[in-house]
Structure 1
Protein backbone atom coordinates (compact mmCIF):
# COMPACT_ATOMS: atom_id res chain seq x y z
CA UNK A 1 0.00 0.00 0.00
CA UNK A 2 1.46 3.37 -0.96
CA UNK A 3 1.65 6.29 1.52
CA UNK A 4 -1.05 8.12 -0.42
CA UNK A 5 -3.50 5.21 -0.29
CA UNK A 6 -6.41 5.43 2.15
CA UNK A 7 -6.14 3.18 5.20
CA UNK A 8 -7.49 -0.34 4.80
CA UNK A 9 -11.02 -0.79 6.03
CA UNK A 10 -11.21 -2.78 9.29
CA UNK A 11 -12.94 -6.14 9.12
CA UNK A 12 -15.90 -6.58 11.46
CA UNK A 13 -16.82 -9.83 13.16
CA UNK A 14 -14.71 -12.47 14.84
CA UNK A 15 -12.30 -13.23 11.97
CA UNK A 16 -8.74 -12.28 12.89
CA UNK A 17 -6.59 -14.48 10.65
CA UNK A 18 -6.47 -15.53 7.01
CA UNK A 19 -5.23 -18.56 5.09
CA UNK A 20 -4.58 -17.85 1.41
CA UNK A 21 -4.38 -20.97 -0.76
CA UNK A 22 -2.28 -19.73 -3.66
CA UNK A 23 -1.05 -16.48 -2.17
CA UNK A 24 2.43 -16.19 -3.68
CA UNK A 25 1.62 -14.51 -7.03
CA UNK A 26 -0.92 -12.32 -8.81
CA UNK A 27 -4.31 -11.77 -7.22
CA UNK A 28 -3.54 -14.22 -4.41
CA UNK A 29 -0.52 -12.20 -3.39
CA UNK A 30 -2.51 -8.96 -3.57
CA UNK A 31 -5.24 -10.47 -1.38
CA UNK A 32 -2.68 -11.69 1.15
CA UNK A 33 -1.02 -8.27 1.38
CA UNK A 34 -4.40 -6.58 1.76
CA UNK A 35 -5.27 -9.04 4.55
CA UNK A 36 -2.08 -8.15 6.39
CA UNK A 37 -2.88 -4.43 5.99
CA UNK A 38 -6.17 -5.12 7.76
CA UNK A 39 -4.37 -6.59 10.74
CA UNK A 40 -5.03 -10.24 9.96
CA UNK A 41 -2.46 -12.90 10.81
CA UNK A 42 -1.98 -14.05 7.22
CA UNK A 43 -0.74 -17.51 6.28
CA UNK A 44 0.21 -17.95 2.62
CA UNK A 45 0.19 -21.39 0.97
CA UNK A 46 2.05 -22.07 -2.26
CA UNK A 47 4.81 -23.98 -4.00
CA UNK A 48 7.21 -21.05 -3.67
CA UNK A 49 6.29 -20.29 -0.04
CA UNK A 50 9.21 -22.19 1.50
CA UNK A 51 11.26 -19.21 2.76
CA UNK A 52 10.48 -16.41 5.26
CA UNK A 53 8.35 -13.69 3.69
CA UNK A 54 9.83 -10.19 3.63
CA UNK A 55 6.33 -8.66 3.63
CA UNK A 56 5.42 -10.10 7.02
CA UNK A 57 3.27 -12.93 5.69
CA UNK A 58 3.57 -16.44 7.14
CA UNK A 59 4.64 -18.88 4.40
CA UNK A 60 3.57 -22.52 4.25
CA UNK A 61 4.83 -24.82 1.50
CA UNK A 62 1.98 -26.49 -0.42
CA UNK A 63 2.06 -28.12 -3.84
CA UNK A 64 -1.55 -28.70 -4.87
CA UNK A 65 -0.38 -30.98 -7.70
CA UNK A 66 1.34 -33.31 -5.21
CA UNK A 67 -1.13 -35.50 -3.25
CA UNK A 68 1.42 -36.07 -0.48
CA UNK A 69 1.92 -32.33 -0.01
CA UNK A 70 -1.85 -31.80 0.12
CA UNK A 71 -2.11 -34.48 2.82
CA UNK A 72 0.76 -33.22 4.99
CA UNK A 73 1.01 -29.42 4.63
CA UNK A 74 0.36 -27.77 8.04
CA UNK A 75 -3.13 -26.46 8.75
CA UNK A 76 -2.26 -24.52 11.92
CA UNK A 77 -4.37 -21.48 11.07
CA UNK A 78 -6.04 -19.95 14.15
CA UNK A 79 -9.83 -19.89 14.05
CA UNK A 80 -12.03 -17.96 13.44
CA UNK A 81 -10.45 -17.21 10.10
CA UNK A 82 -10.86 -16.25 6.48
CA UNK A 83 -9.94 -18.97 4.01
CA UNK A 84 -9.18 -17.77 0.49
CA UNK A 85 -9.11 -20.26 -2.41
CA UNK A 86 -7.16 -18.41 -5.08
CA UNK A 87 -4.72 -20.93 -6.59
CA UNK A 88 -4.85 -21.06 -10.35
CA UNK A 89 -3.14 -21.45 -13.70
CA UNK A 90 -4.34 -20.85 -17.23
CA UNK A 91 -4.39 -23.15 -20.24
CA UNK A 92 -5.47 -22.13 -23.74
CA UNK A 93 -5.31 -25.21 -25.95
CA UNK A 94 -7.77 -27.45 -27.83
CA UNK A 95 -8.65 -30.51 -25.78
CA UNK A 96 -7.34 -32.95 -28.42
CA UNK A 97 -3.94 -31.22 -28.23
CA UNK A 98 -3.87 -31.29 -24.43
CA UNK A 99 -1.66 -33.98 -22.94
CA UNK A 100 -2.83 -36.41 -20.28
CA UNK A 101 -0.34 -34.87 -17.86
CA UNK A 102 -1.70 -31.37 -18.53
CA UNK A 103 -5.25 -32.55 -17.84
CA UNK A 104 -4.20 -34.23 -14.60
CA UNK A 105 -2.03 -31.38 -13.34
CA UNK A 106 -4.53 -28.62 -14.12
CA UNK A 107 -7.35 -30.61 -12.50
CA UNK A 108 -5.26 -31.07 -9.37
CA UNK A 109 -4.24 -27.42 -9.24
CA UNK A 110 -7.63 -25.85 -9.94
CA UNK A 111 -9.98 -28.31 -8.29
CA UNK A 112 -9.10 -31.60 -6.63
CA UNK A 113 -6.03 -30.33 -4.74
CA UNK A 114 -7.77 -27.29 -3.23
CA UNK A 115 -10.88 -29.36 -2.40
CA UNK A 116 -8.83 -31.94 -0.51
CA UNK A 117 -6.80 -29.30 1.31
CA UNK A 118 -9.93 -27.28 2.12
CA UNK A 119 -11.41 -30.45 3.59
CA UNK A 120 -8.49 -30.60 6.03
CA UNK A 121 -8.69 -26.90 6.92
CA UNK A 122 -12.41 -27.04 7.61
CA UNK A 123 -12.04 -30.18 9.72
CA UNK A 124 -9.50 -28.39 11.95
CA UNK A 125 -11.48 -25.14 12.28
CA UNK A 126 -12.69 -24.58 15.84
CA UNK A 127 -14.80 -21.52 15.11
CA UNK A 128 -16.53 -19.80 12.21
CA UNK A 129 -14.88 -19.60 8.79
CA UNK A 130 -15.41 -17.09 6.00
CA UNK A 131 -14.58 -18.86 2.75
CA UNK A 132 -13.67 -16.50 -0.12
CA UNK A 133 -13.43 -18.41 -3.38
CA UNK A 134 -11.91 -16.85 -6.50
CA UNK A 135 -13.46 -18.65 -9.46
CA UNK A 136 -13.67 -16.86 -12.83
CA UNK A 137 -16.05 -15.29 -15.29
CA UNK A 138 -14.79 -18.12 -17.52
CA UNK A 139 -17.11 -20.38 -15.50
CA UNK A 140 -20.04 -18.94 -17.47
CA UNK A 141 -18.55 -17.14 -20.49
CA UNK A 142 -18.21 -18.54 -23.98
CA UNK A 143 -14.53 -19.24 -24.68
CA UNK A 144 -12.52 -20.86 -27.45
CA UNK A 145 -9.74 -23.40 -26.87
CA UNK A 146 -10.30 -23.15 -23.10
CA UNK A 147 -12.73 -26.00 -22.46
CA UNK A 148 -10.65 -27.65 -19.71
CA UNK A 149 -9.90 -24.41 -17.87
CA UNK A 150 -13.51 -23.17 -18.11
CA UNK A 151 -14.91 -26.54 -17.04
CA UNK A 152 -12.72 -26.65 -13.94
CA UNK A 153 -13.66 -23.08 -13.01
CA UNK A 154 -17.36 -23.93 -13.42
CA UNK A 155 -16.82 -26.98 -11.19
CA UNK A 156 -15.17 -24.78 -8.57
CA UNK A 157 -18.07 -22.33 -8.54
CA UNK A 158 -20.72 -25.07 -8.42
CA UNK A 159 -18.87 -26.91 -5.67
CA UNK A 160 -18.76 -23.80 -3.49
CA UNK A 161 -22.44 -22.99 -4.01
CA UNK A 162 -23.38 -26.50 -2.90
CA UNK A 163 -20.97 -26.42 0.04
CA UNK A 164 -22.96 -23.56 1.59
CA UNK A 165 -25.60 -25.74 3.37
CA UNK A 166 -22.85 -27.92 4.88
CA UNK A 167 -20.93 -24.93 6.19
CA UNK A 168 -24.05 -23.37 7.71
CA UNK A 169 -24.95 -26.66 9.36
CA UNK A 170 -21.43 -26.81 10.82
CA UNK A 171 -21.55 -23.26 12.23
CA UNK A 172 -24.27 -20.60 11.85
CA UNK A 173 -21.69 -17.79 11.57
CA UNK A 174 -19.88 -19.32 8.62
CA UNK A 175 -19.83 -17.11 5.53
CA UNK A 176 -19.11 -17.81 1.87
CA UNK A 177 -18.16 -15.34 -0.86
CA UNK A 178 -17.89 -16.53 -4.47
CA UNK A 179 -16.03 -14.12 -6.75
CA UNK A 180 -15.95 -14.41 -10.55
CA UNK A 181 -13.35 -11.94 -11.83
CA UNK A 182 -12.61 -11.11 -15.43
CA UNK A 183 -9.19 -10.49 -16.98
CA UNK A 184 -6.43 -9.41 -14.59
CA UNK A 185 -3.10 -7.81 -15.49
CA UNK A 186 -0.96 -10.76 -14.37
CA UNK A 187 1.46 -11.61 -17.20
CA UNK A 188 2.77 -14.74 -15.43
CA UNK A 189 -0.77 -16.16 -15.46
CA UNK A 190 -1.19 -15.70 -19.22
CA UNK A 191 2.24 -17.04 -20.20
CA UNK A 192 2.89 -17.04 -23.93
CA UNK A 193 -0.18 -14.98 -24.88
CA UNK A 194 0.06 -11.58 -26.57
CA UNK A 195 -2.44 -9.58 -24.50
CA UNK A 196 -2.96 -5.90 -23.80
CA UNK A 197 -2.47 -5.90 -20.03
CA UNK A 198 -3.10 -2.16 -19.94
CA UNK A 199 -6.76 -2.93 -20.69
CA UNK A 200 -7.02 -5.49 -17.89
CA UNK A 201 -7.77 -5.04 -14.20
CA UNK A 202 -5.12 -4.27 -11.61
CA UNK A 203 -4.85 -7.16 -9.07
CA UNK A 204 -4.32 -4.77 -6.15
CA UNK A 205 -7.46 -2.81 -6.99
CA UNK A 206 -9.50 -6.01 -7.35
CA UNK A 207 -8.13 -7.32 -4.03
CA UNK A 208 -9.35 -4.17 -2.25
CA UNK A 209 -12.80 -4.59 -3.81
CA UNK A 210 -12.98 -8.21 -2.65
CA UNK A 211 -11.99 -7.40 0.92
CA UNK A 212 -14.50 -4.54 1.06
CA UNK A 213 -17.21 -6.94 -0.13
CA UNK A 214 -16.18 -9.39 2.60
CA UNK A 215 -16.27 -6.63 5.21
CA UNK A 216 -19.82 -5.64 4.21
CA UNK A 217 -21.22 -9.17 3.85
CA UNK A 218 -23.98 -10.02 6.28
CA UNK A 219 -25.76 -12.80 4.40
CA UNK A 220 -24.40 -16.33 4.55
CA UNK A 221 -23.65 -16.44 0.82
CA UNK A 222 -22.75 -13.76 -1.69
CA UNK A 223 -21.81 -14.22 -5.34
CA UNK A 224 -20.22 -11.33 -7.17
CA UNK A 225 -18.94 -10.61 -10.68
CA UNK A 226 -15.94 -8.27 -11.10
CA UNK A 227 -15.58 -7.61 -14.82
CA UNK A 228 -13.35 -5.17 -16.66
CA UNK A 229 -14.84 -2.22 -18.50
CA UNK A 230 -14.26 -2.10 -22.24
CA UNK A 231 -15.55 1.46 -22.65
CA UNK A 232 -13.07 3.74 -24.45
CA UNK A 233 -11.11 5.66 -21.87
CA UNK A 234 -12.14 3.32 -19.04
CA UNK A 235 -10.59 0.08 -20.27
CA UNK A 236 -9.70 -2.21 -17.40
CA UNK A 237 -11.79 -0.40 -14.78
CA UNK A 238 -13.47 -2.98 -12.50
CA UNK A 239 -17.27 -3.18 -12.74
CA UNK A 240 -18.99 -4.96 -9.85
CA UNK A 241 -22.38 -6.69 -9.97
CA UNK A 242 -24.04 -9.24 -7.72
CA UNK A 243 -25.67 -12.58 -8.38
CA UNK A 244 -24.96 -15.55 -10.65
CA UNK A 245 -24.79 -15.32 -14.43
CA UNK A 246 -26.61 -17.57 -16.89
CA UNK A 247 -23.98 -19.44 -18.97
CA UNK A 248 -23.51 -17.97 -22.41
CA UNK A 249 -24.54 -20.01 -25.44
CA UNK A 250 -21.62 -21.81 -27.14
CA UNK A 251 -22.59 -20.42 -30.54
CA UNK A 252 -21.14 -17.24 -31.93
CA UNK A 253 -22.58 -14.14 -30.19
CA UNK A 254 -26.03 -13.41 -31.56
CA UNK A 255 -26.43 -16.83 -33.18
CA UNK A 256 -28.87 -18.16 -30.57
CA UNK A 257 -31.17 -15.16 -30.89
CA UNK A 258 -30.99 -15.31 -34.67
CA UNK A 259 -32.10 -18.95 -34.66
CA UNK A 260 -34.90 -18.45 -32.15
CA UNK A 261 -32.96 -19.17 -28.95
CA UNK A 262 -33.32 -17.19 -25.74
CA UNK A 263 -30.92 -14.47 -24.70
CA UNK A 264 -29.19 -14.65 -21.27
CA UNK A 265 -31.19 -13.20 -18.40
CA UNK A 266 -30.01 -9.89 -16.93
CA UNK A 267 -28.10 -10.03 -13.66
CA UNK A 268 -29.21 -8.42 -10.44
CA UNK A 269 -27.25 -5.27 -9.61
CA UNK A 270 -26.40 -4.34 -6.04
Structure 2
Protein backbone atom coordinates (compact mmCIF):
# COMPACT_ATOMS: atom_id res chain seq x y z
CA UNK A 1 0.00 0.00 0.00
CA UNK A 2 1.19 3.52 -0.65
CA UNK A 3 -0.14 4.98 2.63
CA UNK A 4 -1.06 3.63 6.06
CA UNK A 5 -4.87 4.01 5.89
CA UNK A 6 -4.96 1.99 2.67
CA UNK A 7 -2.82 -0.67 4.35
CA UNK A 8 -5.38 -0.76 7.17
CA UNK A 9 -8.11 -1.66 4.67
CA UNK A 10 -5.99 -4.30 2.95
CA UNK A 11 -5.12 -5.93 6.28
CA UNK A 12 -8.80 -6.20 7.19
CA UNK A 13 -9.53 -8.20 4.04
CA UNK A 14 -6.25 -10.09 3.67
CA UNK A 15 -5.80 -11.01 7.32
CA UNK A 16 -2.85 -13.35 7.91
CA UNK A 17 -2.87 -14.50 4.27
CA UNK A 18 -0.75 -11.55 3.08
CA UNK A 19 2.08 -9.40 4.40
CA UNK A 20 1.18 -5.73 3.95
CA UNK A 21 3.96 -3.14 3.64
CA UNK A 22 3.55 0.65 3.47
CA UNK A 23 5.69 2.88 1.27
CA UNK A 24 5.11 6.24 3.01
CA UNK A 25 6.50 6.02 6.56
CA UNK A 26 4.50 7.14 9.61
CA UNK A 27 4.52 10.89 10.14
CA UNK A 28 5.39 11.67 6.52
CA UNK A 29 3.00 13.28 4.06
CA UNK A 30 2.34 11.36 0.83
CA UNK A 31 2.24 14.73 -0.93
CA UNK A 32 5.93 15.40 -0.23
CA UNK A 33 7.23 11.82 -0.03
CA UNK A 34 10.37 11.04 -2.04
CA UNK A 35 10.86 7.30 -2.71
CA UNK A 36 14.20 5.62 -1.98
CA UNK A 37 15.91 2.77 -3.89
CA UNK A 38 14.79 0.43 -1.08
CA UNK A 39 11.19 1.15 -2.07
CA UNK A 40 11.85 -0.40 -5.48
CA UNK A 41 12.96 -3.55 -3.65
CA UNK A 42 9.69 -3.55 -1.67
CA UNK A 43 7.67 -3.39 -4.87
CA UNK A 44 9.78 -6.04 -6.60
CA UNK A 45 8.62 -8.61 -4.08
CA UNK A 46 4.96 -7.56 -4.12
CA UNK A 47 2.05 -9.24 -5.88
CA UNK A 48 -0.20 -6.18 -5.52
CA UNK A 49 0.18 -2.46 -4.87
CA UNK A 50 -2.86 -0.46 -3.74
CA UNK A 51 -2.78 3.32 -4.24
CA UNK A 52 -5.23 6.15 -3.64
CA UNK A 53 -4.73 7.70 -7.08
CA UNK A 54 -5.70 11.22 -8.19
CA UNK A 55 -2.12 12.44 -7.71
CA UNK A 56 -1.84 11.74 -3.97
CA UNK A 57 0.74 9.03 -4.67
CA UNK A 58 1.77 10.04 -8.18
CA UNK A 59 5.40 9.18 -7.35
CA UNK A 60 4.36 5.51 -7.57
CA UNK A 61 4.42 5.65 -11.37
CA UNK A 62 8.19 6.11 -11.50
CA UNK A 63 8.70 3.39 -8.89
CA UNK A 64 6.64 0.93 -10.92
CA UNK A 65 8.56 1.81 -14.07
CA UNK A 66 11.75 0.78 -12.26
CA UNK A 67 10.24 -2.47 -10.96
CA UNK A 68 10.35 -5.71 -12.92
CA UNK A 69 8.14 -7.60 -12.82
CA UNK A 70 5.69 -4.89 -11.76
CA UNK A 71 2.97 -5.95 -9.30
CA UNK A 72 -0.75 -5.78 -10.04
CA UNK A 73 -2.14 -2.34 -9.27
CA UNK A 74 -5.43 -1.23 -7.70
CA UNK A 75 -6.29 2.50 -7.73
CA UNK A 76 -9.01 3.32 -5.19
CA UNK A 77 -10.47 6.46 -6.81
CA UNK A 78 -11.00 4.45 -10.02
CA UNK A 79 -12.99 1.66 -8.33
CA UNK A 80 -16.56 1.33 -9.62
CA UNK A 81 -19.06 2.87 -7.21
CA UNK A 82 -16.62 5.22 -5.47
CA UNK A 83 -18.27 8.28 -7.06
CA UNK A 84 -15.19 10.49 -6.48
CA UNK A 85 -15.63 14.08 -5.37
CA UNK A 86 -13.96 17.03 -7.10
CA UNK A 87 -10.72 18.20 -5.52
CA UNK A 88 -11.69 21.87 -5.37
CA UNK A 89 -14.66 23.27 -3.51
CA UNK A 90 -13.88 26.99 -3.44
CA UNK A 91 -13.70 29.38 -6.36
CA UNK A 92 -11.07 31.60 -4.77
CA UNK A 93 -8.38 28.91 -5.03
CA UNK A 94 -6.71 27.65 -8.18
CA UNK A 95 -8.93 24.58 -8.00
CA UNK A 96 -6.62 21.83 -9.04
CA UNK A 97 -3.89 21.44 -6.47
CA UNK A 98 -1.62 18.47 -6.90
CA UNK A 99 -4.48 16.02 -6.91
CA UNK A 100 -5.82 17.04 -10.31
CA UNK A 101 -9.59 17.16 -10.49
CA UNK A 102 -10.50 14.37 -8.05
CA UNK A 103 -10.14 14.22 -4.26
CA UNK A 104 -8.09 11.09 -3.36
CA UNK A 105 -9.08 10.81 0.33
CA UNK A 106 -11.88 8.32 -0.34
CA UNK A 107 -10.94 6.10 2.62
CA UNK A 108 -12.35 8.72 5.01
CA UNK A 109 -15.92 7.67 4.12
CA UNK A 110 -16.63 4.27 5.73
CA UNK A 111 -19.69 3.70 3.51
CA UNK A 112 -17.71 4.15 0.31
CA UNK A 113 -15.18 1.76 1.84
CA UNK A 114 -17.93 -0.74 2.67
CA UNK A 115 -19.83 -0.59 -0.61
CA UNK A 116 -17.05 -0.05 -3.18
CA UNK A 117 -13.53 -0.54 -1.83
CA UNK A 118 -14.02 -3.75 0.17
CA UNK A 119 -15.57 -5.64 -2.78
CA UNK A 120 -12.74 -4.40 -5.03
CA UNK A 121 -10.09 -5.56 -2.55
CA UNK A 122 -11.78 -8.96 -2.16
CA UNK A 123 -11.92 -9.43 -5.92
CA UNK A 124 -8.30 -8.36 -6.45
CA UNK A 125 -6.90 -10.56 -3.66
CA UNK A 126 -9.01 -13.54 -4.75
CA UNK A 127 -7.79 -13.15 -8.34
CA UNK A 128 -4.18 -13.24 -7.16
CA UNK A 129 -4.74 -16.06 -4.63
CA UNK A 130 -7.72 -18.13 -5.85
CA UNK A 131 -7.20 -20.90 -3.29
CA UNK A 132 -8.07 -18.43 -0.53
CA UNK A 133 -11.09 -16.83 -2.24
CA UNK A 134 -13.57 -18.04 0.40
CA UNK A 135 -11.42 -16.62 3.20
CA UNK A 136 -11.14 -13.21 1.53
CA UNK A 137 -14.88 -13.14 0.88
CA UNK A 138 -15.66 -14.03 4.51
CA UNK A 139 -13.25 -11.39 5.82
CA UNK A 140 -14.78 -8.83 3.47
CA UNK A 141 -18.31 -9.57 4.69
CA UNK A 142 -17.22 -9.32 8.33
CA UNK A 143 -15.48 -5.99 7.68
CA UNK A 144 -18.54 -4.66 5.84
CA UNK A 145 -20.78 -5.45 8.81
CA UNK A 146 -18.41 -3.64 11.17
CA UNK A 147 -18.25 -0.65 8.81
CA UNK A 148 -22.02 -0.29 8.94
CA UNK A 149 -21.88 -0.23 12.74
CA UNK A 150 -18.96 2.22 12.64
CA UNK A 151 -20.93 4.59 10.42
CA UNK A 152 -23.79 4.66 12.93
CA UNK A 153 -21.31 5.25 15.76
CA UNK A 154 -19.67 8.19 13.96
CA UNK A 155 -23.06 9.70 13.14
CA UNK A 156 -23.99 9.56 16.83
CA UNK A 157 -20.65 11.11 17.86
CA UNK A 158 -21.31 14.11 15.62
CA UNK A 159 -24.98 14.55 16.52
CA UNK A 160 -25.81 17.82 18.21
CA UNK A 161 -22.57 19.46 17.08
CA UNK A 162 -22.02 22.38 14.73
CA UNK A 163 -21.75 21.62 11.01
CA UNK A 164 -19.13 24.06 9.69
CA UNK A 165 -15.35 23.73 9.70
CA UNK A 166 -12.14 25.07 8.19
CA UNK A 167 -9.33 22.61 7.43
CA UNK A 168 -5.68 23.30 6.83
CA UNK A 169 -5.56 20.61 4.13
CA UNK A 170 -8.38 19.59 1.80
CA UNK A 171 -8.66 16.00 3.05
CA UNK A 172 -12.12 15.91 4.63
CA UNK A 173 -14.68 16.29 1.85
CA UNK A 174 -15.75 12.62 1.76
CA UNK A 175 -16.09 12.60 5.56
CA UNK A 176 -17.99 15.90 5.45
CA UNK A 177 -20.37 14.73 2.73
CA UNK A 178 -21.17 11.51 4.62
CA UNK A 179 -21.90 13.24 7.92
CA UNK A 180 -23.60 16.41 6.71
CA UNK A 181 -20.75 18.78 7.52
CA UNK A 182 -19.87 21.95 5.61
CA UNK A 183 -16.31 22.83 4.67
CA UNK A 184 -16.23 26.61 4.83
CA UNK A 185 -12.72 26.68 3.38
CA UNK A 186 -9.22 25.24 3.44
CA UNK A 187 -5.89 26.94 4.03
CA UNK A 188 -4.00 24.86 1.43
CA UNK A 189 -5.74 22.92 -1.33
CA UNK A 190 -2.62 20.75 -1.41
CA UNK A 191 0.29 20.80 1.07
CA UNK A 192 2.92 23.34 0.10
CA UNK A 193 0.52 25.44 -1.98
CA UNK A 194 0.34 28.48 0.27
CA UNK A 195 -2.63 30.78 -0.30
CA UNK A 196 -2.24 34.34 -1.51
CA UNK A 197 -3.02 37.23 0.86
CA UNK A 198 -6.30 37.77 -1.02
CA UNK A 199 -7.27 34.12 -0.61
CA UNK A 200 -6.38 34.23 3.10
CA UNK A 201 -8.46 37.35 3.64
CA UNK A 202 -11.41 35.70 1.87
CA UNK A 203 -11.04 32.57 4.02
CA UNK A 204 -10.90 34.57 7.26
CA UNK A 205 -14.01 36.48 6.18
CA UNK A 206 -15.95 33.30 5.41
CA UNK A 207 -14.84 31.63 8.64
CA UNK A 208 -15.78 34.66 10.75
CA UNK A 209 -19.19 34.96 9.06
CA UNK A 210 -19.86 31.24 9.58
CA UNK A 211 -18.84 31.33 13.23
CA UNK A 212 -16.26 28.56 12.76
CA UNK A 213 -14.74 27.81 16.20
CA UNK A 214 -11.60 25.91 15.09
CA UNK A 215 -9.24 25.10 12.21
CA UNK A 216 -8.39 21.43 11.70
CA UNK A 217 -4.64 20.77 11.53
CA UNK A 218 -2.74 17.55 10.82
CA UNK A 219 0.35 15.95 12.38
CA UNK A 220 2.07 15.62 8.98
CA UNK A 221 1.81 19.37 8.26
CA UNK A 222 3.12 22.46 10.05
CA UNK A 223 0.36 24.19 12.07
CA UNK A 224 2.12 27.60 12.11
CA UNK A 225 0.05 29.26 9.36
CA UNK A 226 -3.19 27.72 10.63
CA UNK A 227 -2.60 29.11 14.12
CA UNK A 228 -1.99 32.58 12.75
CA UNK A 229 -5.19 32.41 10.67
CA UNK A 230 -7.20 31.05 13.61
CA UNK A 231 -6.09 34.03 15.68
CA UNK A 232 -7.53 36.33 13.00
CA UNK A 233 -11.09 35.18 13.71
CA UNK A 234 -10.80 34.08 17.33
CA UNK A 235 -10.62 30.34 16.68
CA UNK A 236 -8.47 27.53 18.06
CA UNK A 237 -6.75 24.65 16.26
CA UNK A 238 -7.76 20.98 16.66
CA UNK A 239 -5.62 18.05 15.52
CA UNK A 240 -7.11 15.58 13.03
CA UNK A 241 -5.31 12.85 11.09
CA UNK A 242 -6.32 11.39 7.71
CA UNK A 243 -3.43 8.90 7.68
CA UNK A 244 -3.20 7.22 11.08
CA UNK A 245 -0.15 6.09 13.02
CA UNK A 246 0.76 2.43 13.66
CA UNK A 247 2.65 3.47 16.81
CA UNK A 248 -0.47 5.01 18.43
CA UNK A 249 -3.14 2.50 19.54
CA UNK A 250 -5.77 5.25 19.19
CA UNK A 251 -5.03 5.53 15.43
CA UNK A 252 -3.46 2.21 14.43
CA UNK A 253 -6.53 0.61 12.82
CA UNK A 254 -9.22 1.84 10.46
CA UNK A 255 -12.10 1.97 12.94
CA UNK A 256 -9.83 3.46 15.60
CA UNK A 257 -8.65 6.17 13.20
CA UNK A 258 -12.16 7.22 12.20
CA UNK A 259 -13.40 7.21 15.82
CA UNK A 260 -10.41 9.38 16.79
CA UNK A 261 -11.18 11.82 14.00
CA UNK A 262 -14.91 11.93 14.77
CA UNK A 263 -14.06 12.85 18.38
CA UNK A 264 -11.70 15.56 17.13
CA UNK A 265 -14.36 16.92 14.77
CA UNK A 266 -16.89 16.95 17.62
CA UNK A 267 -14.49 19.13 19.63
CA UNK A 268 -13.73 21.38 16.66
CA UNK A 269 -17.35 21.87 15.58
CA UNK A 270 -18.64 22.97 18.96
CA UNK A 271 -22.28 22.69 19.98
CA UNK A 272 -25.01 23.11 17.40
CA UNK A 273 -26.43 26.65 17.37
TM-score class normalised by the smaller sequence: 0.3 to 0.5
More strand by share: 1
Task: With the length of structure 1 as denominator, give the TM-score of the two structures.
Answer: 0.34
Task: With the length of structure 2 as denominator, give the TM-score of the two structures.
Answer: 0.33
Q: Which has the higher contact order (CA 8 A, sep 6+)?
A: 2
